[in-house]
Every structure is written in structure tokens, then in C-alpha cells.
Amino acid sequence: MARALPLEHVTARRPSGRRTRWREYRTGYLFVLPSLAMFVIFLFGPVIWSLLLAFQDASLTRRDWNGLDNFRTLASDRVFRKSLVNTAIYAAVTVPVHMLVALVLAGMMKPLAARWQTFFRAAYYLPAVTSVVILATVWRWMFNPRFGAINQMLDLGPVAWLSRPNLALWAVILSAVLTIPAAGVVMYSAAMGSIPEDLYEAASLEGAGAVRQWWDITIPLLKPTSLYLIVMYTIWAFEVFERVYIMTGGGPAYATTTIVQLIFDTGFRDWDYGVASAQAIVLFVIVAMVSAVQFRLFRSEVEY
Amino acid sequence: MQMTRRTPRDVNRSFGKLIVVAILIATTALSLFPLFWMLSTAITPGSATIKTPPSLIPLPTGLLGAGTDLPAWIRERAYSPTLENFHELSTQTQGNIWRWLGNSAIVAISITVFHVLFDSMAGYAFARKTFPGRNLIFGLLLSTLMIPVQVTLVPNFLLISRLDLADSYLGVILPGFADVFGIFLMKQYMQTLPREIEDAARVDGANEWQVFWRIVLPLAKPAVATLAIFMFMRSWNNFLWPLIVLRTGAKYTLPVGVATLQGEFSTNVGLIMAGAAVAAVPMIVFFLLFQRYFLGGIRIGALKG
């Protein structure tokens, strides 16, 4: 996907003389330059800087190399371990639920008329256009012990969802799970729409029922979309921040602190740049590893 | 008219369809409920926001007065909608809520305009020009998709501080440009455009910039629209980076400002929800206007949700 299409090499006219060739090169470089400069200054540079900071004792006033000390600190840090566990639980619950809900809803929408499909897609997507900050603010209000929608509707009495250590993480997860995975629904339903109808007709002729068709045609042919979605939802889950920051601020007693919440606290509340960078690098490694595993598990050569 | 006999199977099928539609409608309600609850609380008079049962049904004042015979279950849940929370919020924040709205607009529009310009330029070069290192540079840019943005937070903050841009709009705006998605989108789209028109323009004496600006960019309008909407929405909703960069209350963008309302008015939910509504409503309107571009943007994997 990323590679230049081979066709292009055929059609691209090789510039003739040396001067015209240089002119072509120069145009190319000049057009790429503004973006490239931004990447060098605000991304490539900072990534390297971050790698260096991870091996330094760095704060507002100090700056010293300290080898692997930051990583050693992390290895024995209970809060860091807690944040890894919280993030893992959050991902382990939200990702499968999102995948399943997206798949089922897209499947249910499939037989409907096009305009109804558009309607449902839009209705599911509408909340997603507002900031997670806003939605999480509303969720915090909905979890209000006395007057929030949740307790009033479930008639539970004043359950303090967000300030009880054993409930808070589950309340945050619940708020995520009750949000329709709109991007997933849209992508799955687009992918389902592009499965050729004659595959199903052929299967019907051979006596395969709806369930059989779902398992033997729809699910396998959706594999590329599933791969994409599972990787994206997992990355988003590991990078969860706004929802936690707004709903609980990571509390009570670190019960909801996630990796990114901790990076934020370490870097911009405790101003410990070195340890914050080390935490960010651990996040990077985890995300890269999880994506690699998912790619291996889900990779398929399905074509249709 | 011919009568069709309804077999048990047909009945079964239409019953199944009914259930499916019922589930879809229920999930739609679930999906929209937080927004409804937010807007409803925002226009509820202060005293009515915290009561049991909750005020959920907006009714004109006349209907709520004495002498009208509303059923009790409605009367208990009804309220007369008002904008007093917005006025109150405006006074309490000393007008900051509207300043945040303006700041968000400035930041989101600047990021969108320059992102679209830079991305289409780069996309054009990657799609059309040959130059040494082209594929290497493009591959390098694409590889940044793997890097979680959190890795760059600390160094970018140090950089912005050193450039003396902390607590400034420029500090919020600049790092947002290091994002490859738009370049990828524009490259893919421009590769599908016919070359002949560009060549014809060159024969007519247009220089490279004119070819790009007058020919390619207008032809790439659909991709430009998708990208612009994507960028606008993302920067309007962006939170973590502005939260780190901005220090002065009057300079906050909406998400950052709304987040501070919670600490300040923890007892007055009406004000907090009014603030949330100020941030949410422009995006909702924007979405309803440009829906098809949004849905197109999701399909190519651009938008979260």
C-alpha cells in the first residue's frame, strides 16, 4: 500500500537533459520541504531527544546521564505497574466488546435500505465528533452518586462509582463500552457491502443457511477490516487518557491511572522528564509488540 | 392486486427484521443519550438540575403553571428550558467561555489551512515528481504512524519552551503539523488524477507552482474537503497538547477550558454542561452539514470513534 505503484514508473517521463532533471528534482524537494521540516523539528528530533532523556536524570533544573536508572525505577515502581495493569484491563475489555458490537451492528444494518443505513451510521457517529473530554464530562455527571442518570435509572441508591477504588476503573470502562464504536460500524458495513452478492447466492443454492454463510463467507472476508480495526482499537485503548483524566484524574488511590495519565503526571506535574520519557518508551514498545502480534495472528491473503 | 400468501417463514423473517430494527433503534438511543443528557442539563434551571426524579422533559412555562392538568409523572420530570446557565457561565468565567470558543476556532482553522496546504504540496510531489530519495522519505514519514504521540510530549514541550512559545497559540499549533495522514491521503488521490491536464498547462507556459495551485489542487477538491474536515475536527477536539502548553485561563481552547470548569463549579452541574454544550454544538452542526465527508473520512481510516 505504501509503495509507489509500479505503473507510475512506466508512465513517469524520465526527464531528459541534466538541467531539466535537476529542475524536476528541485520542484519535488521544494514541495516536500515544508512538511518534511515540520517532521524533523517536531517528530524525528523529539523522538531521538526522548530516547536520550530516558537515560537521563532530567527535570526542570537537573540534567545528568544516569544509564538505566529510570527503567530500574519503573521496574520497582508500584504505581507504574498499577498503570500497566489498569491499561491492560481497559484494553482487554473494551477492544473485544468494540469489535463485537461493531461487527454485530454492521451485520444488522446490512439488509436495510441505504438511507436507513446512512441514518444509523450518522446517529452512531454523532457522539464521536465531539471531544472525548466533553463526553467524559457528561459521563462523570451521569455517574454522580445522587443525581446522575445511572443511579437514578437503575434505582441503585447513592453508589459512588467514581470514588470507590474497586468500582472506578469499571465505571470508566463501562462509559467506554457503552459508546458505540462508530468507526468500526462504518468500516465493517462498508466492507460487508463490497462482498459480492453471488457468493451468498451460490452458498444458498448449496443449502447453506444464514449462520453458515455468516461464518464461512462474511467473517473470513472481513478479516482485513478486522485486522485494521483490532490494531487501531488496541492502540487507542493503550493510549487512553482524556476519559480517565476527566472522570477520575487517575484516582482514587491510582485505581484508574493509565499509562498516559501517568506519563502526564510524571512529566507535567512532577516535572520528572527522564522517568516520563522512559514511561513513554515503554508504552511505545508495548504498542509496537501488541500490533506486531495482532498482525501475525490476523494476517490473511484473502482476495475477492 | 395479487395476494401473496404469508408462509410461517415469512412471518418469522419479518419478526426477525422487527427485532433487528428495534435493537438498532435502542442502540441509537443509547449512543445519543449522553448528548441528550448534556443538552438537557444545560438548559435546565439551576435548581432543577439536582433532583429526583431527574428533569428530562422540556416544556414551555405556560404548560407547567398551576391549573394545567399534566399527569404527575410528567410534571415531576418536566422543566421549563432556559438559557440562564449560559449567562451565568459567561459571568462566572468573565466571558472566558466565549474567548475559548474563539481560541478553538483560531487554532483549529490555522492548523486546518496550513495542514491542507503542506499536505497537498507534499502529496503532489510524492505522486508526480521523481527525485532521489523520494521513496525513502515517504517510507520514513509513513513509519511515524507507529509512534505514539505521547513519546514526543516531553521533548516537544521543552522545544516549545525554548522557542519561547509556551502558553501561546503558535505553541499549540506548530507540533500538530508533523502528521503523515494527510500526505498519504493527498498522494493516493492525486495519483488517480489524469496527467494530461497538467501537461497541457505546462505547454501553455504555466510554472510548477501554477500547475499545482490552479490545476491539481482544484481537481483534488474531494480529498481536500475530507482532509480539511478531518483536521478541523481533530484540532477542535485536541486536548492533551493544549493542556500542556497553555497556562493562562483566557488562552485556553474549549476542551481545556471545559475541563477546568469541573474543578471550579463542581456543585453547579448546569454550568458545566452549558460549557460542554458550547464545545459540542459547533462540531455537531458541522457534522450534520458535512456528513458525507465525515463518513468518507472514516471509511479511509482517518477518524477515531
Residue B244: which CATH number? 1.10.3720.10
d(CA A119, CA A125): 10
Q: Which cell goes with B85?
A: 446557565
- What pLDDT sits at residue A240? 94
A112 interaction partners in chain B (CB closer than 8 Å): 21, 24
Q: How close A47 comes to chain B (CA, Å)?
A: 6
**Segments forming the whole domain that contains residue B211:** 100-254
Which A residues in the span 17-46 are in contact with B, Cβ-Cβ below 8 Å? 24-25, 27-29, 31-32, 34-36, 38-39, 41-46
Distance set, CA B82 to CA B44, B60, B61, B226 (Å): 6, 10, 10, 37
Find out whether A247 and A175 touch, Cβ atoms under 8 Å. Answer: yes
- What pLDDT sits at residue A293? 85
Residue B159 falls inside a structural domain: yes
Residue B89 falls inside a structural domain: no
Has residue A83 got a pLDDT over 90? yes
With 0-12 / 13-18 / 19 or more C-beta atoms within 10 angstroms meaning exposed / middle / buried, residue B143 is exposed
CB contact under 8 A, B304 and A246: no
A132 interaction partners in chain B (CB closer than 8 Å): 237, 239
Question: How many domains are there within chain B?
Answer: 1
How far, in whole angstroms, is CA A178 from its chain's centroid? 17
- What pLDDT sits at residue B61? 67
Q: Strand A63-65 vs strand B78-79: parallel, antiparallel, or unpaired? A: unpaired
A119 versus A149: the higher-pLDDT residue is: A119
Q: B204 in helix, strand or coil? A: coil
- What pLDDT sits at residue B145? 80
d(CA A274, CA A276): 5
Q: What is the pLDDT of residues A228-285, one digit of tens each?
A: 899 889 989 999 999 999 999 888 989 999 999 999 999 999 999 999 999 999 999 9
d(CA B26, CA B22): 6
d(CA A14, CA B293): 37
Secondary structure tally for chain B: helices H, strands E: 18, 2
Alpha helices in chain A (DSSP H): 6-11, 18-39, 45-53, 69-75, 78-109, 114-125, 132-142, 149-154, 165-177, 182-193, 197-205, 210-213, 219-221, 223-238, 242-247, 259-268, 273-298
Which residue(s) pair with B79 in the sheet?
A: B58
Residue B216 falls inside a structural domain: yes
Residue B268 falls inside a structural domain: no
Class assignment of domain A78-298?
A: mainly alpha
- What pLDDT sits at residue B62? 65
Where exactly are the structural domains of chain A?
A: 16-71, 78-298
CB contact under 8 A, A260 and B150: yes
Has residue A304 got a pLDDT over 70? no
Q: What is the pLDDT of residues B228-285, one digit of tens each?
A: 988 999 999 999 999 999 999 899 999 999 999 888 777 788 889 999 999 999 999 9
- What pLDDT sits at residue A302? 47
Residue B270 falls inside a structural domain: no
Name the residue type at position B73: W
- What pLDDT sits at residue B256? 94
Residue B197 falls inside a structural domain: yes
Q: Which cell goes with B8?
A: 410461517
Q: What is the pLDDT of residues B181-221, one digit of tens each?
A: 899 989 999 998 888 888 888 888 888 899 999 999 999 99
B60 versus B273: the higher-pLDDT residue is: B273
Compute the residue count for chain A.
Answer: 304
CB contact under 8 A, B144 and A43: yes
CB contact under 8 A, B135 and A187: no
Residue B203 falls inside a structural domain: yes
Q: What is the pLDDT of residues A39-70, one digit of tens each?
A: 999 999 999 999 999 999 888 888 888 888 88
Q: Which cell goes with A33?
A: 520541504
Q: How close B264 comes to chain A (CA, Å)?
A: 13
With 0-12 / 13-18 / 19 or more C-beta atoms within 10 angstroms meaning exposed / middle / buried, residue A228 is middle
Has residue B51 got a pLDDT over 80? no
Has residue A114 got a pLDDT over 90? no
Residue with cell 495519483: B191
CB contact under 8 A, B273 and A134: no
pLDDT tier at A134 (50, 70, 90 boundaries)? Answer: very high
Q: What are the φ/ψ torsions at residue B168 (nearest 5 degrees)?
A: -135, 160
pLDDT tier at A10 (50, 70, 90 boundaries)? Answer: very low
Q: What is the pLDDT of residues B92-101, one digit of tens each?
A: 888 899 999 9
- The CA R_g of chain B, rounded to the nearest whole Å, is 26
Q: Which of A11, A25, A105 sits opposite B131 (nearest CB)?
A: A25
Residue B241 falls inside a structural domain: yes
Average pLDDT of every residue of chain B: 86
Of B76, B150, B241, which to mutate for an interface test with A (greatest number of A Cβ within 10 Å)? B150
